[in-house]
Structure 1
Amino acid sequence: MSDVLLLRHAKSDWSVEVDDFNRPLNNRGKRSAQRIGEWLKTHDLVPEQVWVSTAKRTMETAEKTLKAMELPTSLIKPIPELYEASSFMVLDVILKARKNVGLTLIIGHNPGMEMALLDLVADQLPDFGDDKTLPTATLAHLRFEENQVSLVELIRPKNLPKKFPVWRDNQLSYDDRPAYYYQQSGVIPYRWDNEQLQVLLVTKRDREKWGIPKGIIEPGLSAIESAAKEAMEEAGAIGEIYPDALGRYQQNKWGGTCDITVYPMHVTELADDTHWESDKRLRQWFLVDAALRTLTKPELVAMIRALTKRVQKQS
Structure 2
Amino acid sequence: MKTIVLVRHGKSSWDYEVSDKDRPLKERGINDAHLVAERFKNENCVIDFAYSSPANRALHTSMIFMRNLGFSLNDFQVNEALYDFSGQSVQSFVESLDNKLNTVMIFGHNYAYTSLANSWGDQYIENVPTSGLVQIKFDVAEWSGISKGATEQVIFPKHLKQ
Question: Is TM more than 0.5 here?
Answer: yes
Give the CA deviation at 1:120.
Answer: 1.9
Q: Which residue of 1 aligns with 2:151?
A: 151
Give the CA deviation at 1:159.
Answer: 1.2
Counterparts of 1:197-208 in structure 2 under 5 Å? none
Taking a change above 3 Å as real, the CA distance of residues 60 and 74 of structure 1, as seen in their structure-2 partners, is farther
Q: Which residue of 2 aligns with 1:142?
A: 136
Q: Deviations over 1:195-248 (max 9, x none)?
A: xxxxxxxxxxxxxxxxxxxxxxxxxxxxxxxxxxxxxxxxxxxxxxxxxxxxxx
Counterparts of 1:1-315 in structure 2 under 5 Å? 1-97=1-97, 99-121=99-121, 124-125=123-124, 132-146=126-140, 148-160=148-160
Taking a change above 3 Å as real, the CA distance of residues 98 and 156 of structure 1, as seen in their structure-2 partners, is farther
RMSD: 2.1
Alpha-carbon contact 2:120-2:136 (below 8 Å) kept? no
Task: Return the TM-score normalized by structure 1.
Answer: 0.46
Give the CA deviation at 1:75.
Answer: 3.1
Alpha-carbon contact 2:136-2:150 (below 8 Å) kept? yes
Q: Deviations over 1:130-185 (max 9, x none)?
A: xx4211111110000136411112110221257xxxxxxxxxxxxxxxxxxxxxxx
Uncovered stretches (5+) of structure 2, i.e. residues with no partner? 141-146
SS of the equivalent of 2:130 reads coil
Name segments (4+ residues, structure 1) moved above 4 Å: none
User: Relative contact order, CA 8 A, sep 6+: which one is greater?
Assistant: 2
Alpha-carbon contact 1:53-1:59 (below 8 Å) kept? yes
SS of the equivalent of 1:124 reads coil
Larger radius of gyration: 1
Alpha-carbon contact 1:54-1:82 (below 8 Å) kept? yes
Task: Return the TM-score normalized by structure 2.
Answer: 0.85
Q: Which residue of 2 aligns with 1:228?
A: none
SS of the equivalent of 2:96 reads helix
Taking a change above 3 Å as real, the CA distance of residues 24 and 39 of structure 1, as seen in their structure-2 partners, is same
Give the CA deviation at 1:98.
Answer: 7.8
Q: How far apart are the structure 2 equivalents of 1:73 and 1:161? A: 29
- Between 1:82-91 and 1:136-145, the stretch displaced more is 82-91
Q: How far apart are the structure 2 equivalents of 1:133 and 1:78? A: 24
Uncovered stretches (5+) of structure 1, i.e. residues with no partner? 127-131, 163-315
Give the CA deviation at 1:107.
Answer: 0.7
Give the CA deviation at 1:51.
Answer: 0.9
